[in-house]
A and B are shown apart, each in its own frame.
Chain A
Amino acid sequence: GAGVSQTPSNKVTEKGKYVELRCDPISGHTALYWYRQSLGQGPEFLIYFQGTGAADDSGLPNDRFFAVRPEGSVSTLKIQRTERGDSAVYLCASRQSIAGRGNEQFFGPGTRLTVL
């Protein structure tokens, strides 16, 4: 079966521009996560969706970052007024519905964002 897919795989933009990153989770997975991985670091949590709602957005660094999941499947991470410090690999993961049992998150290949 298909895994988590993310598009685009690479995105180069200029400082100050707006970008959208897309995540298609595994079919039937109701939980979806976004992480950001900077060079030489482990992934850092950004936001968690359970269904259509953001259940935990405590990892979003500031109000330039926003994510939606309007139909409970595909999610889009939106970054306004990009800064060079936003350059990183953005990872998406999905999980089966029941939280709190250590169920595996399945990760996509990531989108490498470069802000010039």
Chain B
Amino acid sequence: AQSVTQPDIHITVSEGASLELRCNYSYGATPYLFWYVQSPGQGLQLLLKYFSGDTLVQGIKGFEAEFKRSQSSFNLRKPSVHWSDAAEYFCAVGAHNTDKLIFGTGTRLQVFP
């Protein structure tokens, strides 16, 4: 069955520190992978996606993610976190035929000044 696991429910970092949010997936074929961000009262916004090709993908707001097939992972990284990055982050896998998204439970990021 298709599934996404985000092991960290809540992460706290200091502003300027580096960040890595973990995501593991289960999917029968090469997955389409996404990272979305959800700020309080805001809709889901796409940060980046992996479809094929280069396994290191760049996104908006300085985020990047690396697809590692051997580890079934798609971790999100940012070298220096800003206070405005505080939000809920969701990893998702997309079904090939319908593009419906299967989301993880999310990781809440808190940033201290």
Residues of A within 8 A of B (CB): 3-4, 31, 33, 35, 40-45, 48, 55-56, 59, 91, 93, 95, 99-105, 107-110
Contact = CB atoms under 8 A, between A and B. Distances in A.
Contacts of B43: 3-4, 91, 107-110
B70 interface: no
A42 B106 contact: yes
B98 A99 contact: yes
Contact of B101 (A55, A99, A105): A105
Contacts of A108: 43
B72 interface: no
A95 B32 CA distance: 15
B51 A102 contact: yes
B75 interface: no
Given A44-B103, A102-B99, A108-B43, 15 more contacts: A35-B103, A42-B106, A43-B44, A48-B99, A99-B98, A99-B99, A100-B96, A100-B97, A102-B32, A103-B99, A105-B46, A105-B99, A107-B43, A107-B44, A107-B45
Contacts of B51: 101-102
Shortest Cβ-Cβ A-B pairs, 9 listed: A42-B103, A102-B32, A102-B51, A107-B44, A107-B43, A109-B43, A45-B100, A99-B99, A56-B98
Contacts of A31: 99
Contacts of B96: 100
Contacts of B41: 109
